[in-house]
Structure 1
Amino acid sequence: MRLAYLFPGQGSQYSGMATDFSKYGSWGHYAKVANEVLGLDLVEIMDGDEEILKLTENAQPAIYLASYVAFVELKKYLKEPDFVAGHSLGEYTALAAAGVYDFETGIYLVRKRGEYISQAMKPGEGSMAAVIGVPIEQIDELVKKYEGLYIANYNSEEQTVVSGKAESVKSFVKDLTENGKRAIELKVSGPFHTPYLESAREKMAIEVEHIKFRQPRYPIVMNSIAQEITDPEQIKHYILEQISGPVYWKQSVDRMITLGVSEFIEAGPKNVLTTMLKKAKLNAKHFTSLIGIKDGTEGVPSGR
């Protein structure tokens, strides 16, 4: 039986995270390091106003910190994973978990990633929407009818996320709803995983250029290609590609199954990935069900 650890993306944050995760033994150390690296009180943000927490530059390091602590705690109870993967932002946590870079480097990178994404397009000019129960082939044809609209996340058989210009997303949701289909605009401030974020990708390329990526302890199944990667330079390339390109999450899960993975464990706040996998009748657990604290909040990953 092969095991994969999965790490969630943006949309999994919630006010009160710091209090919940402070119950874990490793929390104090990593929270202190995160505050020192970032030069701000991330812990206070994680327990504070929801509107401030959900800002991309805050949400991303908050989720990274919580998810990394979850990983450290999991390793006290379970065997090492055979594979790791992360949904969008979660890929950065997966890289830290696999030892490609250290915790400090990762928290710095995700804060920068959040800042650059926020700068790429003015808040409100871009948006995203989750489409439920519509075959991907139909969505592929539908998005072509709207200016500046793209498929951003291939999340599951049931769920696809589109992203792009806010007016196009709103029209898309309205048209699908009027035709009896399910589409929900997400509470996000930008067109994530589209060419509109090319400037963020270019800025992040400069950030990672001089960082030495190490050989991972576990193969990483990466969003951009849904294939396992162990070469550090290839990892560096594909971690940048997913900023302005789509997330092939369903395909990544399918790849892990092909590689013999029969158990998935989500390490991070909320249980978004676990819920998706369970709906697909896969053996998935949230880390809290294995080591203690309960957090049964469901949701839709925004795919950032």
Structure 2
Amino acid sequence: MAGVAFLFAGQGSQKPGMGKALFDSSEAAKKVFDGVDAVRPGTASQCFEGTKEELGQTINTQPCVFATDLAAAAALEDLGMHPNVVAGHSLGEVAALTFAGAFSLEEGTRLIEVRAQAMADCTAKHPGAMRAVLKLDAAKVEELAHEAGEAWPVNYNSPQQTVVAGSAEACEKLDGLVKAAGGRSMKVAVSGAFHSPYMAEATEALAAYLETNPVHAPKLPVYANRTGETYPEDVAEIAALLSEQVSNPVKWTAELHAMQDAGIDTFIEVGPGHTLTGLVKRTLEGVDAVCVETPEAAEEARALVAGKGLI
């Protein structure tokens, strides 16, 4: 069985002007931006006119990418495309859950505001750093992170890319260990150690918020960063996994393999950038992967899916 997955982009994909072309050309995309603006005024203008520095602040990044992700997905739906499953990387998972009906657009926007603030607060309280480690397998990166000290693998992105988060000192030590092992260590442009134990208080904040703002059962399968598998049907378990996600590793490679095993052979990244598309291509064989952040790309994605008889 062939199938389609929408992949919702995460932090790091943001860029000035994101979503503007979709806003101008798709009424469905415009409706998403208008809906987010109704909860968080100025989000659309921040996406379209914000500087790189402004969009790089967690408190702005998360709602802006969330809005752009959902706008791209809405534009595709308006073209008659409906995914069999969805997944999102880090903050993109909140967009994926919102698309799947676990949250209304208003609820999802309020949740992403809480998430962004909680993670920014943790970053201020526990400053840290992140490194993308290339050319080494995950097991080797785990070994080197342990040797570096207060550092943890936090994004299992592809067979040859694992992101590590931790203290600045540990990450600097990791740079030398990675080089000695024949790998490459690249600084990630963030000031926090996301998806690490440094974010424990953000998990607590999200859990408390979701206790009084409950999740709805998703209308289609959503894959979870926390487990690499689909979210369970129980809404309390969904809330727990989503809360835990911010202080635990993103098992992205496992998610991709699980989707392929379930019959997914077409992966469409929605939102700014093409990071997830690249990770699919470096992880899976025999699949198609494209990114959609413009009206032209949306039409091309529709043609791809229609050509496979999946519309």
TM-score (norm 2): 0.89
Q: Deviations over 1:137-182 (max 9, x none)?
A: 1111111112210000001112110001112112212332355421
State the SS of the aligned residue for 1:222. Answer: coil
Report what 2:149 is aligned to.
Answer: 147
Deviation of the 1:234 alpha carbon: 1.7
- Of residues 289, 298, 308 in structure 2, which corresponds to 1:291? 298
SS at match of 2:27: coil
- Aligned letter for 1:239? L
Aligned length: 293
For residue 230 of structure 2, give the secondary structure of its aligned residue in structure 1: strand
Matches within 5 A, 1:38-53: 38=40, 40-46=41-47, 47-53=49-55
Q: In the TM superposition, what whole-angstrom CA distance separates every residue of 1:15-54 from its partner, at most 9, and x where no partner exists?
A: 111433322222333222222212x311232222211111
Give the counterpart of 1:278 among 281, 292, 295. 281
Match of 1:256 in 2: 259
SS of the residue aligned with 1:189?
A: coil
Task: Choose which of 217, 234, 245 in structure 2 pairs with 1:215.
Answer: 217
Provide closer, same or farther for how the CA distance between residues 290 and 35 of structure 1 changes in structure 2, counting only shifts above 3 A: closer
In structure 1, what is the Cα distance between the partners aligned to 2:213 and 2:242?
Answer: 13
**Equivalence for 1:22:** 23
The amino acid of 1:116's aligned partner reads A
AA at the equivalent of 1:274: T
Shift of 1:293: 9.1
Alpha-carbon distance in 1 for matches of 2:182, 2:23: 45
Mapped to 2, the partners of 1:256 and 1:235 lie a distance apart of 19
Secondary structure, counterpart of 1:155 in structure 2: strand
Instruction: State the secondary structure of the residue aligned to 2:246.
Output: helix
Matched residue type, 2:95:
T
Higher mean displacement: 18-27 or 88-97: 18-27
5 Å-filtered alignment, 1:26-175, equals: 26-38=28-40, 40-46=41-47, 47-122=49-124, 125-175=127-177
Unaligned runs of 5+ in 2: 302-311
Instruction: Report 1:220-239 matches (<5 A).
Output: 220-229=222-231, 230-239=233-242
- Return the letter of the residue paired with 1:235: I
Supply the AA of the counterpart residue of 1:209. Answer: E
Deviations 1:226-285 (A, max 9, x none): 111233222111111111000000001111111111111111111110111123343211
Match of 1:204 in 2: 206
- In the alignment, structure 1 residue 8 sits paired with structure 2 residue 9: yes
Among 267, 272, 277, the alignment partner of 2:270 is 267
- Please give the alpha-carbon distance, in whole angstroms, between the structure 2 residues aligned to 1:170 and 1:248: 24
Structure 2 Cα separation of the partners of residues 169 and 273 of structure 1: 24
In the alignment, the residues of structure 2 paired with residue 69 and residue 214 of structure 1 have an alpha-carbon distance, to the nearest angstrom, of 21
Bigger drift between 145-154 and 41-50 goes to 41-50
**Distance in 2 (alpha carbons) for counterparts of 1:124 and 1:14:** 26
Which segments of 5 or more consecutive residues in structure 1 lack a partner in the other structure?
295-304
- TM-score, with structure 1 as normaliser: 0.91
Answer yes or no: is the 8 Å Cα contact 1:45–1:53 preserved in 2.
yes
Amino acid at match of 2:110: Y
* Mapped contact 2:133–2:161 kept (Cα < 8 A): yes
**1:77 CA displacement:** 2.4
Deviating more after overlay: 78-87 vs 19-28: 19-28
Cα distance in 1 between the residues matched to 2:30 and 2:221: 29
Identical-residue share of aligned pairs (%): 31
SS in 2 for 1:26: helix
What is residue 301 of structure 1 aligned with on the other side? none
Q: 47-56 or 226-235, which moves further after superposition? A: 226-235
Q: 1:226 to 1:180 in 2, by over 3 A?
A: closer
Q: 1:31 and 1:82 mapped to 2: Cα distance?
A: 24
Once superposed, what is the RMSD of the aligned Cα atoms?
1.9
Cα distance in 2 between the residues matched to 1:195 and 1:189: 15
Higher helix share: 2
4+ residue segments displaced more than 3 Å: none
2:34, 2:15 → 1: CA distance? Answer: 20
- CA separation in 2, counterparts of 1:42 and 1:173? 37
